[in-house]
Structure formats: C-alpha cells, structure tokens
C-alpha cells in the first residue's frame, strides 16, 4: 500500500458495480442472465490539499458514482478512499466531515425548514458551538460569508432564487467546518450570469478558507475556470489526468481530444465546431480491450485486446507508444 501523502485525498483502485438484474424468479421465466453495470473500474488518483480536481466525461461515465463514494454516501465494491486527517473534521458520530453540494439545491434542502435550521443542523450534530448565542452568531457569519443577508435566516428555500439556494447549500456545507467539498454539477441548473457569481464565490471561499474541491461539471469552460487538475473518465475508467492548462492545450488521449474538440472554438472570428462522434457503449457489456476503441480514430490491433494502463497520466496504447 502506498504511504499516505500529507493533506490529500487518495482514491485507490476504486471500483463499483451495480447489479441491475431482474429478480431470480423473473430471470428463470425470461431466461435472461444476470446484468451488472460496471460504473467504475480501477479509479486511482490523488487530490492535493487546496486544489480543485475536476472530473469530466460524458453522461454515464461514473462521475456522480465516484463523488458519492468519496463522500461516503455509497460504498465502493473494490478499493478505498483515504482522506488525510488534516482535511477531516471529526464528527461526533465518527463520520467524516466531507460535504457535498448538488446540482439541484432545491431537492437537497429540506423545504419545510427555515434557512437558520438548515445551516444550524450540522453545527448542532457535530457539537461545534457551546450555546445558543454562539450558534446564532455562527449562522449570521456563515450567511454573510456566502453573500446572504442575516434577515434571510427566517426564510424557507422556496423564497430564494436558484443562485441564492445554492448559496444556502454552500453555507450548510461550510457549517460543518469541512475542508473538503465535493460539488456535483453545482451550477448546471443556473443561468449563466448567476453561475459566474456562484463559481466566483466558491473560488473566493477556497482562497479564504483553504478549501479542497472535487468538482464535477460537464461544462468544460467551467472546468477550465475552476480546476487546477482534471481527470477524464470514460466508461468508468480514468483515461487521462493532467494539469488544467496542459490538458486543454495538449490533450493526449483520443477521447480527451474528442471531448475538447466538441467545445465551440472562436478562431479568428470564425466559430468552428467538431462534434463528438459515435455513442458511448453500454457499461453492461463494455467493449474488450480499450473501451474507447470502437470510437477511436487511431485504434490499433492491440487496443481491441488489452486494456491500457494509466502510464505517465494517460491510458492509451497509441499515446504511450508515441
């Protein structure tokens, strides 16, 4: 086992399968075999303290599954996630102080609770303050920190705009004094202008509080703005990892290239767009060898046979040979 690096989150050989078979009796009647979705296979990377590690990949590539495993909402079938103790806030119940901000803040906030109760809940559960006066002061501080007004504490989630609701969700995440926050598409449901405000808020809080983010977005412009490093997932496997500027300037895996080429480019006044070609195969019966080979423009024989390992940050027989 690798030694634990200081101040980081270590994702080690994480795999996750979902059994989506019919019941035994229905399988006997229909003659259908067991069906297992391979949502994640051998996922391995580190998140350094204070950085924003972004995960990108098409729908169904396993981003949310990994996010849920990292925060402990879901168990891994293989491997483990090790969170450095300096990022962990020890909870009364022994859990880890990792918080998650979801795409739809309305669904993740209790609609029957006022904001003050939503924000107070982690503080109470974790016994972070000594008395009611301190609790009240802490709630005001947190609301101010995320750009809300102390008067907002009496409001219910439905009385806010989408952007404000996401601010409440961020205040709740910070209330637990977590230093590591997992954000799954935190701004995808918001208007572009509001999206920028929330992203700027997250960056400001990261600087102020030294937060570490695992950030998921399908919007590559957002990823470029937020991330320090990026991991590219394809059918549940990491195919490439890189520093954000390096990866955008010089993607090496054919899938990363395809993904980035699908983003509209403004080139000398001309907007050029090349689409993503082919469809993502089924994770129930993934192609043999490199799962990307049926869509890959540069696939060689070996790609149909052997699963490429992540060597020098890229898992591709062709890129690794060149």
Binding site for Mg ion (CB under 5 A): 63-64
Using the rule CB under 6 A, is 166 a contact of ligand ATP? no
Using the rule CB under 6 A, is 15 a contact of ligand ATP? no
d(CA 112, CA 120): 14
| Among the listed residues 132, 166, 312, the one whose alpha carbon sits nearest the alpha carbon of residue 238 | 312
| Among the listed residues 95, 124, 237, 107, the one whose alpha carbon sits nearest the alpha carbon of residue 184 | 107
d(CA 250, CA 240): 12
Q: What angle do CA 43, 231, 179 make, to 5 degrees?
A: 90
Kindly determine how many residues on this chain lie close enough to bind ligand ATP according to the rule CB under 6 A. Answer: 14
Using the rule CB under 6 A, is 41 a contact of ligand ATP? no
Q: Max CA-CA distance within the chain?
A: 69
Residue number with CB closer to ligand ATP (57 or 105): 57
Residue number with CB closer to Mg ion (64 or 164): 64
Using the rule CB under 6 A, is 61 a contact of ligand ATP? yes
Query: Scanning residues 206 to 245, which ones bind ligand ATP (CB under 6 A)?
Result: 218
d(CA 263, CA 267): 12
CB of residue 65 to ligand ATP, shortest distance in Å: 3
d(CA 8, CA 50): 9
Helices (H), the chain: 24-30, 63-71, 105-108, 115-125, 132-145, 162-175, 192-209, 220-226, 244-249, 254-261, 301-305, 317-321
Residue number with CB closer to ligand ATP (65 or 187): 65
x-marked contacts with ligand ATP along 239-278 as a string, rule CB under 6 A: ----------------------------------------
Helices (H) and strands (E) in the chain, counts: 12, 11
Residue number with CB closer to ligand ATP (57 or 254): 57
Residue number with CB closer to ligand ATP (283 or 308): 283
Using the rule CB under 6 A, is 100 a contact of ligand ATP? no
The residue from 60, 72, 281, 287 that contacts ligand ATP (CB under 6 A) is 60
Q: Name the residues that contact ligand ATP, by CB under 6 A.
A: 18, 20, 37, 39, 57, 59-65, 218, 283
């Amino acid at each position: 086992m690798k030694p634990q690096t200081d101040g980081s989150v270590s994702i080690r050989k994480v795999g996750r399968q979902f059994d989506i078979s019919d019941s035994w009796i229905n399988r006997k009647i229909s003659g259908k075999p067991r069906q297992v979705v391979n949502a994640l296979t051998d996922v391995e990377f580190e998140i350094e303290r204070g950085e924003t590690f972004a995960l990108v990949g098409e729908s169904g590539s396993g981003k949310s599954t990994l996010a849920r495993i990292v925060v402990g909402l879901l168990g891994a079938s293989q491997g483990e996630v090790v969170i450095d103790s300096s990022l962990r806030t020890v909870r009364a119940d022994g859990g880890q102080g990792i918080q998650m901000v979801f795409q739809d803040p309305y669904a993740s906030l209790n609609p029957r609770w006022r904001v003050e109760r939503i924000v107070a809940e982690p503080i109470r559960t974790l016994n972070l303050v000594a008395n009611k006066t301190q609790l009240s002061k802490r709630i005001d501080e947190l609301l101010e920190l995320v750009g809300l007004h102390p008067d907002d504490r009496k409001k219910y989630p439905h009385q806010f705009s989408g952007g404000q609701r996401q601010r409440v969700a961020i205040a709740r995440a910070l209330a637990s004094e977590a230093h590591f926050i997992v954000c799954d598409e935190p701004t995808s449901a918001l208007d572009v202008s509001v999206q920028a405000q929330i992203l700027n808020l997250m960056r400001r809080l990261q600087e102020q509080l030294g937060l570490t983010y695992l950030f998921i977005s399908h919007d590559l412009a957002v990823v470029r703005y937020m991330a320090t490093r990026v991991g590219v997932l394809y059918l549940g496997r990491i195919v490439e990892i890189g520093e954000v500027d390096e990866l955008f300037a010089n993607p090496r895996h054919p899938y990363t290239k395809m993904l980035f080429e699908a983003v509209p480019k403004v080139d000398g006044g001309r907007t050029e767009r090349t689409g993503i070609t082919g469809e993502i195969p089924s994770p129930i019966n993934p192609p043999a060898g490199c799962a990307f080979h049926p869509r890959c423009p540069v696939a060689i024989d070996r790609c149909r046979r052997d699963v490429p390992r992540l060597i020098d940050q890229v898992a591709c027989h062709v890129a690794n040979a060149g």
